[in-house]
Every structure is written in structure tokens, then in C-alpha cells.
Structure 1
Amino acid sequence: MDASASKDKARTPKNGAIIALILVAVMGFTLLGSISGPGWAPTPLTASLTVQRADTSIGSRALTAPQGSYETSVEVVTIKLTDEVSVLASVYRPIGAPGKRPGMVFLHGAGTATHRQFEPHARAIASTGIVTIVPDKRLDTYTTAERDYVAMARDYRASGEYLQSLPEIDRTKVGYYGESEGAYIASIIAGSYPDSAFLILVSAPVVPPREQATYATDNYLRNTHVPEPLLTIIPRGLGPQMPGGVLSYADFDVRPYLERVKAPVFMAYGTGDTSMPIVQGAQQVIADIAKNGNSAYTVRYYANANHGIKVNQQIVPAFLRDVSRWTAGLPDTAKAEPRVAGEQPVQQFLAEPPPKPKWYADGDMIVIGLLAGPAMVVALPLLGLATGGITRLVRGRRGERAMGVSRAATWTLLRTSSAAALAAIGAWVLYIAYIVTVANLAVNYRTNALAVDGGWAVTRMAAIIAVAALIFAVRALIQTHRDPVRLPVWLAITLLGLLGGRVSGSLCVRL
């Protein structure tokens, strides 16, 4: 063996050293992902709300008509919101109901909604003698990125004022029914307009949307039995402030409006609703309205009911019965015992703000990080190849040899670099597919141990393979060095893309 061969052999890492380097790199990237934070450890809820009895029926001696007492009619009307914007609304009337009647305005939850929704609710309640109205949700100012709850309150208030203008309505008895996200808006109306006769909050988040989303996501993932490390995706995904004011409504706080509510409040939750803080929400409403001297509250928990107060896709009959009687019996039913009734609710953790990520994983940086990883892995190797092609055209083979890089070693480095790039891209694709799969299971309240546990193992193995492929590419690079050491620009750019993509991924998600 000549001196040159001995020198090359000395420069070539042994297999044991390569394995050790791979392990160190895997642990290093994992540590990088871990320290980039934040961690996730939700606070257990210690204070509970005790139900007084299982029967949810509304007490008091008030005489109210049961459901089905009146035939109902429906009329579609136009509600003017501004000089340029109007919406349609369905008005349900009890036929033959005597005297001036109470009125109820329905406010939709998240998403698109029309005057045709809430039909079973509005018709059933109207059959007890209450005039109900279901307006379209205004959608020209409502998007996933931007929502103005105060402006939406003004829009829905127009439907309340329409009811007050009807000759058959007692204008002092018009109130608002808000479901889910609509509970924010109904609370704004009740807190801003003192003539609001009552406030009905159904499956109300109460806490700011970001806290509710954090709580719901944690519950969904735990119910899906995902591995504990995956829970760190919660603060990383929901904690950052998005750039450009996108999702600024996520931090909307309804409490200042609740603290001004003078009207009696009815709250309803299903004990099977894992998306809402069903104990904390009721507790907060009770505490907030008390600041205004208001102690008129009624809370009902319906056994096994979901977010829509449904069991097996059917509205719980007792729910519509209770809402109708409570509304029709006001003011006698405002403080009727029992104040809290139904199935005992259970809430394991507090709905609270997620930890704020560090600067390099927040706002613009998280968007840059998520996009930079795959972009660097794909784009820089292509740029490197293009640069290499230009270099070969300019310098020719003689210039390439002058750089001290043999053709055989160059092609070896090309193969290992390409393999590393494909492995990195594959790891990203598998991770995204896994997140989508878990999200689908979570939102549909399903579990699949093979998909969750097996998928997690596959994604972690893919990440380790990507790191190993990067190490082998670096090893091939080391083997191409000769004195004087000169590195082709295109290979440097290629490896920079691989390393940058891996580091970027570690900052956004754990290995």
C-alpha cells in the first residue's frame, strides 16, 4: 500500500465511527427540537360544579305551554344590515297564540350558516308560543383568517330589532340564543344592549378561541391515544401569533361583555362534548355576570350529548323542552331551582393559553421554518446540480481534476446526496400524512391504534433514516478530499440544503 492510499484510508471514517456519528446526530436533532420548545403540560381542573339533581326540567310555578301547543308558520323575510347588505331570515310564529309574545333570535356557530338551519329548534320552540327568527350569517366579512365578533353582533342585533318591530311581539321580551362560536356574539349583544331580555348560551366556549382550540385539540389527541411526545404539537401549532394579523380573533375575550349582562342566563352543555370546557365555561359565566350584580343563571348538563346537544344524531328532547319553558316562564324561571342540574360534568384540564413559543418558532418565523425545510431540501440540491453543470462547462474535465475531486468520488457523492434529499423529503411527507391522519381520527371521535402508534413509529424511523442518509452523504464528501482540500460549489450547496432542511424541521417539530 503506497503512502497516498494509506493517507486516504486514514481520512476515511470507519463503520463504527459512522454509526456513532449517526446516533449523535439523531440525538442532536432530537435535542434541538426539544429545546426549541415549548413543552406541553395542561393544568388539571380542581374546582368542579356539582349538579343538584339529575332531572333537568325547569322548576317554578310559572304556567307555560308545552311543546306542540300551537301549530307554527314560517315566513322568509329580508333583514337590512347596511345600505348595501341584507340577509334572509326565517321567522317561525305560533299560530293563534294570544297576546304579545316573547321573541328569540338564533345565532349560528362557526362556519357558514343560513336561515334554513336551526329549523327543528326554532319550530319546536315556536310551538310553545315563542316567536323565533333564524337569520343568515353574513359571510362577506367572515373568513377563517379574519372575524370581527363585535361587528357580527351588530348584524345579528338587526334581527332582534326586527322582532321588536312586529306587532305580535312584546319588545321587552326579545332575547338571544347563541350556539358555540355564536355564544361569543350573543354575549356581546346582551352586554351591549340593556333591552336584551335573556341570554341562552349553548355549548359556549366562553374562554378565548385560542384557549378553546387548545383545550379541544388536547382532548382530541388524548382520546385518540397519540404518543405523549406528539402533544407538543399543540403549543407549537396553536401558540404562535400569526403574521399579518391573521387569526387575531383567536385572542378575543368575551368577559368584559359578560360582566355587563343584566339579563337572566341559561347555559346548556352536553357531557359528551369534549371540545368545550363544560365546567370551566359555566363557572366563568356565573362569576362574570355576578360582577354586575346578576345572579340569575340556570345551567343544564345533558347526559352523553355532543356539541350540538344531540345523542345518536338526534336533538335531546329535554333540551328543547327546558329552553322553551325557561324562556316562556321568565322572569319566574330566572332563578328557579335547581340552578344546576343534569348529569355530573367532568373536565380534566383547564382551558388555558398555550405556552408562547420562542422567537424563532413564533409568527413569521414558524411559517418560514415550515416552508424553508422542504424548500431547502428540494431547491438547493437542484441549484447545486445546476451550478455543477455550469462549472463543468466552463472548466471542463481538466478543471474538475484540478479541483482535486475524482469523477468516481463525485458520482458517489451525487448518489448519497440524492438519497439524503429523497429521504428528507420522504420524512416530511410521512410526517404531514401522519398529522392529517391523526387529525381526521380526532375530529371524528375515532381511534385506530395501528394508525396512531404504527404511524408514529414509521415517521420517527423515516426521520432517523433521513439523518443517516445525510451522514452517509457527509461521509462521501469527506472521502473526496485531497490536499489541497477544495470543495465543488454545487456539492456544498446540495449538502447545505440537506442540513438546512433537517435543522429547520427540528426547530418546528421533534425528530
Structure 2
Amino acid sequence: MLNIPIFVILIGLLVYISNATAVPWNNEPTGQTIAALDADTSVTFAAKGHGTAELAAAGRYRVVTTVESVDSTRPSTGETQRVTVVVRRPDTAQTGLPGVVFMHGAGQGTAFDSFGDIAEDMASAGFVTAVLDKPSWSTEVFNRDYEGSAAAYDQVVDLLRRMPQVADAKVGIYATSESTWISAYLLDRDPRIAFQVLLSPMVFPMRQALGFLAAQDFALVGANDGYQSIVRRAFNADVSAFDLPNVDIDTLRPATYDIPTFVGYGAKDVMTAQVEGAEAILDMAHRAGNWDVTIRGYPVANHVLRLAQDSQAGTQFADEYVRDVIAWVSGVTQGLEQTSERVAGSTLYQSIPVPKELRAKPALTWYGLVLHGAMLVMLLAALVMASAALALRIRGRIVGRPFRLGFTYGFGRMLLTLTLTTIGVLLLFAAGIAQVVMAVVNLAWGGAPDDHPGLMQWSWPVIQGVCTLVVWAWSRLLARLIEVATGRGIMRLPPRTDSIRGVVSGREPVLATTRFARILFWVVATAMFLVLLMFAFWGLFIY
């Protein structure tokens, strides 16, 4: 009579929490495409007289490399970083050469281990190139100072402008991935930037761009749809109270694209929204009155336009990407008229829409933080209590006086079963998430998804089924507890005389004859129930 009503109440509570914390998100496949106007990615320009212009090409000059350094000050704090700059220039007496400053993507690149091949090729074609240490100061991955970084890159732009070989009106930037957010701040502070090459630009605010990345990649690696609920809740987090300043920056504005722009995408790139990104770039550029936007798609290239995994050293650029960039910069800086198609190469493809509806949800965030914090505290307390019980049992065996917890009516056995089952499900949940993350990282590096997803596919329904059984075990435990407490007179109103004192003293026990066992029971039980609430928060009780 008690088991079923308690089970229904508990399941109803957990299902309600799962649905209350759910975030609506349309990530159904859409298969958006932009067809290229020409399969050939070559960039050509008309000569100022007639015919086709002769453009710069790699290998024309011997390259001279020098190492400079600048003290880059972070404007917001005054913190200074000594930044090394590797400058490569063609060995020629010519002046008025174009200059290119390279801007780092995610990670912690240095002047010596980043952009070496393309900077060398561009210098051999007749450009002066500069690669600097990534400006980071004391910031970490998620709290980069984008405005400060823009100031640091602008210092290097000015460094090139002051060089006798360089035409100060022909210095542009080469920005990749994360730095395409920083380039927007750079163009705001320095309107004299002559051109920009954007490799796999992120375009949209970080919350939307990374939400798209995670949702698409979770689907591509074959993760169960249930794991998408984790993505939805995580990317609706309100991070305003934390040191994460870039989550909601919006650099999608006309001023970001009001100069000649070259955009390069790889067909194997699983991190950027290529179709909506290209459309947004063209829209912003046209609003700014700029029609000089060239978009190229490369059929076998990954996120950084390479042929193999990013984790492998020495991977080559795809197809004729380097040739096309050199030709485009050459033509643009000479003021020539482009004759090749503006959109060429492989067809741009995007599997799902950008989740533009993502917004910070303070109530959801704080509930999640409090719940997870309480769960971790209680799990730690339960571990300490269990360790103490084990130590007392071992000590009792050594001294010949066995230690007994004194659980009554089978509560010790029921609690142990409940604990082992819940911890087992928690470990399976963690293993499923870990496998999804590893598969997504491998995919982002340029690897192929596994044909057999395995754990990350079947673990979700298994966890759901076992959690349902755990809730049934909880209903049996609570029903038993109510039954015994009723027999002791505690459940009466008012309680039977001396019933509470009898339970506390252990003379008429409900759970156990010892105070230690009673405390252990409630600590462990609370921890296990908080784990169930955590599962409900992440959507495991949406059937």
C-alpha cells in the first residue's frame, strides 16, 4: 500500500525537475548549403592595362628572418607581457611591400611554433609577415582579454608599418578561429587595417557559436540524444557572476567586415557554422558598403585548413589554399579588380541551425550550482563516514572486539544496495560523458567519427532504466522506514510518550542501535538522493 504511492511521488518529482530544467532547442537537421559558383578556388585579377594581372607567388624570394620584441601592456590592468615577434621578409631592396600580422586561434601559441609555414610562404612571395606570442598576460582560456589582445596585435601592426620595406597603408591581418572575435576589436581601434584573411571565422557570439559546435559534434560522433540535454543546459548558464567575460560578446556588426575580406572554410570543419556564417558576413559587409568579400571552400580541409589531424605535427594546408591567399592579398593590395568568382570551391554545408535562442538563465544556473555543490559535499561526507566505519571494523577485528553498526530491520542491507547501485550509475554516466568529450575532441582535431559509438549511445537508456529501479528501491526503503516508525509510535500525532527518546537512545531503534549508524544512514542516504536530483537536472528522467 505504501510502495506504489511513494514510487509515483518520487518519479513525479524527478520527472518534473527534468522537465522544469529542460531548455527548448531546435537542433533538427536542416542541411543548409551555399553552392559555389565555380569549383576552381583560384583567385584572379584583371591587369590595370588589359588581360590578367601577374600576382605574387610563393618561392619568388629568399626569406630573411629576424626576431623582435615588444612590451605589451594590458589596458584594463596595466599588466605587461614581453612579446616575442618573428618577422619574415623577402630578401629584396623593394619598398612599399604589403605586411601581414598573424592572429592566434584557441590555445597558447608562440611566435616560434605558430603559422611558420604560411608566414614563410607569404614572405617568399614578397610580403613582410609578423607572428607574435599569443597575448594572454595572466588570463586563462575562458577569460581572455579580447580588447587587450586587440591592442597587443595593433602594436605589431604598427611595428610593421614603421619598417622601411612596408607600405603603412598595406598592412592587414590573418585571423583564425577564436581570433576572429578579437579582429573585430582590432578593426574598431585601428580603421587603417588594409585587409583581413579570416580562416574558419566563428562569426556569432561565443555562447551561440560554441553551442552550435557542441550540439553538432555530439550528433556527429553518435552520442545518444539524451546527452544533448547536457549541451542545452550548459550553454544556457548565466556566467555573469564569474570571470568569463567573453561568453556573450557580439562582434557581428557591419564595422567588422567593412574592409576587403577573404574567408576560408574546410569541408571537414565540424566547428563553425559555415552557411549562416557566410550569410552573416556578406550581410554585414554589404551593410557597410563593402562588396569586396571572397569566400572559398576547400573539400578535404579541417578547421584550420589542414589535411590531417591538428594533433599531428607537420600537417599540410589543403589544396591550393596558400596559393589563393597569396594571390588575393597581392591583388587587393595592388588595388586590382577581381575577375574570379567571389564564392568558389566546394559547396558550403551546415547540418543544424545556429542556436540563436540561447540566453543566460540565472535561476537554472544557481539551482544547478547549489545542487551540485551540495551533492559533492554530501558525497565527501559519506565517504568520510564510510571510511571511518571501515576503520572501526578493522580495528575491532585486530583487538578482538568486533565493531557492529547495529542496523535493524534490514536497513543496512537496503542502504548498501541503494548506494552501490547509485554509485555504479554515476560512474556509467561519467564514463558516457567522458567518451563523448574524447570523441568530440578527436573530431575537432580532424579525425573521423567511429562507426560504432558504443557506450555513449547505449549508456543513456541503461542509466534511465537503472535509475527507475533505484527510485523503486527508494520507495521500498521509505515505506519500510514509515512502517517501523509507525510501530514505534513516532508517526502518531502527537508522538507516543517517550517514543522519540527511545529511538534516540537506541532502546527502541528504528534504523540502528548506535548513533554512529544512524548518522551514517542519513548522510549516505542524503548523498544518494542528491545524485538522483543531479540526474534529474541533466534530463535523465525525461522518457
TM-score range, shorter chain: 0.7 to 0.9
1:94-105 matches, within 5 Å, as 94-96=90-92, 98-105=94-101
Distance 1:334 1:463 in 2: 66
Distance 2:455 2:193 in 1: 50
Corresponding position of 1:81: 72
1:301-340 matches, within 5 Å, as 301-312=297-308, 313-330=315-332, 331-332=334-335, 335-340=338-343
1:386 Cα deviation (Å)? 9.6
Note if contact 1:59-1:333 (Cα within 8 Å) is conserved in structure 2.
no
| Identity score, percent | 24
Normalising by structure 1, we get a TM-score of 0.85
Q: Does 1:271 align with 2:273?
A: no
* Shift in CA distance, 333/472, structure 1 to aligned 2, threshold 3 Å: farther
When structure 1 is superposed on structure 2, of 144-153 and 270-279 the one drifting more is 144-153
3-state SS of paired residue (1:175): strand
When structure 1 is superposed on structure 2, of 496-505 and 214-223 the one drifting more is 496-505
> Aligned match of 1:198 in 195, 219, 223?
195
Gapped runs of 5+ residues in structure 2? 47-52, 309-314, 390-404, 444-448, 491-499, 505-517
Corresponding position of 1:93: 89
1:399-478 matches, within 5 Å, as 410=408, 412-445=410-443, 446-447=449-450, 448-478=452-482
3-state SS of paired residue (1:417): helix
* Shift in CA distance, 261/377, structure 1 to aligned 2, threshold 3 Å: closer
Distance 1:412 1:385 in 2: 21
Note if contact 1:236-1:357 (Cα within 8 Å) is conserved in structure 2.
no
1:42 Cα deviation (Å)? 2.6
Corresponding position of 2:290: 294
Corresponding position of 1:42: 27
* Shift in CA distance, 341/381, structure 1 to aligned 2, threshold 3 Å: closer
Note if contact 2:299-2:346 (Cα within 8 Å) is conserved in structure 1.
yes
Q: Does 1:375 align with 2:377?
A: yes
Gapped runs of 5+ residues in structure 1? 1-12, 388-406
* Shift in CA distance, 92/415, structure 1 to aligned 2, threshold 3 Å: same
Note if contact 2:257-2:281 (Cα within 8 Å) is conserved in structure 1.
no
When structure 1 is superposed on structure 2, of 444-453 and 431-440 the one drifting more is 444-453
Distance 1:285 1:60 in 2: 22
Distance 1:34 1:340 in 2: 44
Distance 1:131 1:243 in 2: 41
Note if contact 1:326-1:334 (Cα within 8 Å) is conserved in structure 2.
no
Amino acid at match of 2:347: Q
1:174-323 matches, within 5 Å, as 174-242=171-239, 244-256=241-253, 258-259=254-255, 261-312=257-308, 313-323=315-325
* Shift in CA distance, 409/119, structure 1 to aligned 2, threshold 3 Å: closer
Normalising by structure 2, we get a TM-score of 0.80
3-state SS of paired residue (2:420): helix
Corresponding position of 2:166: 169
Corresponding position of 2:511: none
1:377 Cα deviation (Å)? 4.8
When structure 1 is superposed on structure 2, of 22-31 and 85-94 the one drifting more is 22-31
Q: CA deviation digits over 1:372-402, x for unaligned, max 9?
A: 2343355369779999xxxxxxxxxxxxxxx
* Shift in CA distance, 369/129, structure 1 to aligned 2, threshold 3 Å: same
1:467-506 matches, within 5 Å, as 467-481=471-485, 482-485=487-490, 486=500, 490=519, 491=521, 495-506=525-536
* Shift in CA distance, 375/464, structure 1 to aligned 2, threshold 3 Å: farther
1:110 Cα deviation (Å)? 0.8
Corresponding position of 1:72: 63
1:237 Cα deviation (Å)? 1.2
Q: Tell me the C-alpha RMSD between the 2 structures.
A: 2.9
1:124 Cα deviation (Å)? 0.9
Q: Does 1:123 align with 2:120?
A: yes
3-state SS of paired residue (1:235): helix
* Shift in CA distance, 386/270, structure 1 to aligned 2, threshold 3 Å: closer
Distance 1:323 1:115 in 2: 21
Amino acid at match of 1:443: V
1:354 Cα deviation (Å)? 5.2
Q: CA deviation digits over 1:139-174, x for unaligned, max 9?
A: 214312312211110011111100001111111100
Distance 1:107 1:125 in 2: 15
* Shift in CA distance, 143/454, structure 1 to aligned 2, threshold 3 Å: same
Amino acid at match of 2:489: P
Distance 1:221 1:182 in 2: 24
* Shift in CA distance, 509/246, structure 1 to aligned 2, threshold 3 Å: farther
Corresponding position of 1:59: 44
* Shift in CA distance, 70/384, structure 1 to aligned 2, threshold 3 Å: closer
3-state SS of paired residue (2:111): coil
3-state SS of paired residue (1:104): strand
When structure 1 is superposed on structure 2, of 88-97 and 351-360 the one drifting more is 351-360
Corresponding position of 1:341: 344
3-state SS of paired residue (1:177): strand
Corresponding position of 2:495: none
Q: CA deviation digits over 1:209-249, x for unaligned, max 9?
A: 11111111111111112222221111111111126333230
Amino acid at match of 1:315: F
Distance 1:217 1:259 in 2: 28
1:480 Cα deviation (Å)? 2.1
1:506 Cα deviation (Å)? 1.3
Q: CA deviation digits over 1:466-498, x for unaligned, max 9?
A: 323323322332342214125657455654443
1:507 Cα deviation (Å)? 2.3
Distance 2:176 2:39 in 1: 23
* Shift in CA distance, 264/300, structure 1 to aligned 2, threshold 3 Å: same
3-state SS of paired residue (2:285): helix
Note if contact 1:212-1:277 (Cα within 8 Å) is conserved in structure 2.
yes
1:68 Cα deviation (Å)? 0.9
When structure 1 is superposed on structure 2, of 420-429 and 457-466 the one drifting more is 457-466
Aligned pair count?
475
Distance 1:191 1:290 in 2: 18
3-state SS of paired residue (2:25): coil
Distance 2:118 2:414 in 1: 64
Distance 1:306 1:427 in 2: 36
Note if contact 2:31-2:349 (Cα within 8 Å) is conserved in structure 1.
no
Corresponding position of 1:352: 355
Corresponding position of 2:110: 114
Amino acid at match of 1:96: T
Note if contact 1:80-1:158 (Cα within 8 Å) is conserved in structure 2.
no
1:453 Cα deviation (Å)? 2.3
Note if contact 1:22-1:471 (Cα within 8 Å) is conserved in structure 2.
yes
Q: CA deviation digits over 1:264-290, x for unaligned, max 9?
A: 111111011111011111211111122
Corresponding position of 1:507: 537
Distance 2:98 2:23 in 1: 51
1:456 Cα deviation (Å)? 2.7
